[in-house]
Amino acid sequence: MSTTDATGSRSAKHVPEWLNSPAWYSKPSHPLSPALSRAQSMVEKEENKPINDSVEDEKFENEERSRQVEDHPITGGYFDQSNSALGENARSVLASSPLNAPHMPSFPSHQSDPSSSFLDGKGSKKTTSGAMRAQAFATELAKKRVHIAELQRLASEGIPDSGGVRAITWKLLLGYLPKNREAWDAEASKRRAEYAAFREELLINPSEVTRREGDGQAELYSTGGLLPRQEISHGDHPLSLGTTSLWNQFFQDLELVEQIDRDVKRTHPDMDFFSGDSDFSHENQEAMKRALFIFAKLNPGIKYVQGMNEVLAPLYYVFKNDPDRENMVHAEADAFFCFVELLSDVRDNFCKQLDNSAVGVHFTMGQLTALLKKHDEELWRHLDTVSKVNAQFYAFRWITLLLTQEFDFPDILRLWDSLLSNPDGPLEILLRVCCAMLICVRSRLLAGDFTDNLKLLQHFPSVDVHHILKVADEVKDRA
């Protein structure tokens, strides 16, 4: 696998003004919209209900939720909390929820349909507004035990941008947080302490280690009135080639550090969050560099492959913009572990030794080709026989980078809502989305030759991401 082809040259994608607004990374001044509080009328019942994950109970919950949503329509996105009978226990649960932080940023709705559909408990489609979807998430995330299947269903239709809902949901979908809500704090603290230990152990500066040892020797000499003399062993000498030498390891890691540094600086150059000149932007870059370096050190079989920075970017971005300050401060650690969880499903595509195996990236591209042939044989034949555009010329980047280079950043977040919530794993829906992308531009592909089609697919045009996801669902339904 050629890592140099992982990203390729790209024309700058349009970034909406609001995405580069300081509001993304500054504390907002207005209170939380009461729309999320709409869920409170159902929490008392959920708090006192025994935990039962049976199919019949889940079906009953879905039907009950659908009935309650219909009985209490939201007008103007607000809910009169004075009419809500809420027990003290339920109030304490909601008060401690990150969804009910005293402030939340307000952003334009960029990737979610204002009116999207979902399946109710009876399997029929309902239409839900953005406020009602936010309420549905608040209800599910406020439970003592989150039902992952229900959360996957909600997330597949798009996660609300505000209130830190996407950050919490992604962590649950990736298995970083447990289903039991009461264990969230303990598990997060454990993981964050683990990451702090990784930083202490793996981010080694030999000069700093030598200085600390020298300080220790100086303390011993200070009581005797003797001048301190620091002895440097052969293994600690900067020119040492010993396998246990910190300096030797430091110089071996320099090439890795420089490669990561180059790639991170190229991450979304049109977004101030990643590539601005502010201290905040530089802080984000350093955090991503550390996380990628630690991953490479802990995974010597894969190490770092060009493009991993693009896969880490959405995770870090979402977690860093969590309105809960504690979560925001630990965005680096949280993003690292979620990055590890995500790559566990697609890591074979990054392993060069497996490129031509039954689990490598070439096999995955073959699966995409077979999927296209099954659902649009005419288009497949034109690409394969007439214009001779091999899937490797465009799908390699699509698959390895999880479509992070093909769409505007808001659309990437929406696509990832569906990728991370897919019950069959991200790779299954990723192939369907890639197939849908080809089908959505079929008329242009059928009319183009090799040069035209190669340019089109390497610089994918602006297509409504919701339409692509709809076509991807149709591909699954016809399977």
Rounded to whole angstroms, the Cα distance separating 210 from 236 reads 8
Rounded to whole angstroms, the Cα distance separating 275 from 281 reads 6
Amino acid at position 455, single letter: K
In the structure encoding, which two tokens stand for residue 439, read together? 């089908």
Q: How much is the pLDDT for 171?
A: 98
The mean pLDDT of 88-95, rounded to a whole number, is 36
Q: 133 pLDDT exceeds 80?
A: yes
Distances (CA, A) of 378 to 100, 386, 476: 52, 11, 19
Q: Is the pTM of this model over 0.95?
A: no
Chain mean pLDDT for the chain: 75
Q: How much is the pLDDT for 50?
A: 46
Q: How much is the pLDDT for 166?
A: 97
**DSSP-assigned beta bridge partners for residue 78:** 75
First to last CA, the chain: 30
Model confidence pLDDT, tens digit, residues 344-402: 878 666 666 565 656 578 889 999 999 999 999 999 999 999 999 999 999 999 999 99
Cα Rg of the chain, angstroms: 25
Q: 338 pLDDT exceeds 90?
A: yes
Residue scoring higher pLDDT (323 or 203): 323
- Contact, 133 vs 158, CB < 8 A? yes
- Contact, 76 vs 94, CB < 8 A? no
Q: How much is the pLDDT for 249?
A: 72
Torsion sign across C-alpha atoms 457, 462, 467, 473 = positive
Task: Kindly compute the dihedral angle of the four CA atoms of residues 118, 124, 128, 134, in this order, to the nearest 10 degrees.
Answer: -50
How many Å is the maximal CA-CA distance in the chain?
A: 89
Structural domains of the chain sorted by starting position, each given as residue range(s) with its CATH number in brackets: 355-477 (1.10.472.80)
The mean pLDDT of 114-140, rounded to a whole number, is 65
The mean pLDDT of 242-253, rounded to a whole number, is 66
Residue scoring higher pLDDT (425 or 359): 425
133-169 per-residue burial string, b: 16 or more CB within 10 A, e: under 16: bbbbbbbbbbbebbbbebbbbbbbbbbbbbbbbbbbb
The mean pLDDT of 230-253, rounded to a whole number, is 59
C-alpha 365: how far from chain center: 23
Residue scoring higher pLDDT (125 or 369): 369
Residues in the chain: 479
Three-state secondary structure string covering the chain: CCHHHCCCCCCCCCCCHHHHCHHHHCCCCCECCHHHHHHHHHHHHHHHCCCCCCHHHHHHHHHHHHHHHHHCCCECCECCHHHCCCCHHHHHHHHHCHHHCCECCCCCCCCCCCEEEEECCCCCEEEEEHHHHHHHHHHHHCCCECCHHHHHHHHHCCCCCCCCHHHHHHHHHCCCCCCEHHHHHHHHHHHHHHHHHHHHHHCCCHHHHHHHHHHHHHHHHHCCCCCCCCCCCHHHCCCCCCCCCHHHHHHHHHHHHHHHHHHHHCCCCCCHHHHCCCHHHHHHHHHHHHHHHHHHHHCCCCCCCCCHHHHHHHHHHHHHCCCCHHHHHCHHHHHHHHHHHHHHHHHHHHCHHHCCCCCCHHHHHHHHHHHHHHHCHHHHHHHHHHCCCCHHHCHHHHHHCCCCCCCCHHHHHHHHHHHHHCCCCHHHHHHHHHHHHHHHCHHHHHHCCHHHHHHHHHCCCCCCHHHHHHHHHHHHHCC
Rounded to whole angstroms, the Cα distance separating 109 from 106 reads 9
Amino acid at position 186, single letter: A
Rounded to whole angstroms, the Cα distance separating 108 from 16 reads 10
Specify the pairing of strand 115-119 against strand 125-129.
Answer: antiparallel
Q: pLDDT tier at 55 (50, 70, 90 boundaries)?
A: very low
Amino acid at position 372, single letter: L
Rounded to whole angstroms, the Cα distance separating 183 from 163 reads 21
The mean pLDDT of 175-188, rounded to a whole number, is 97
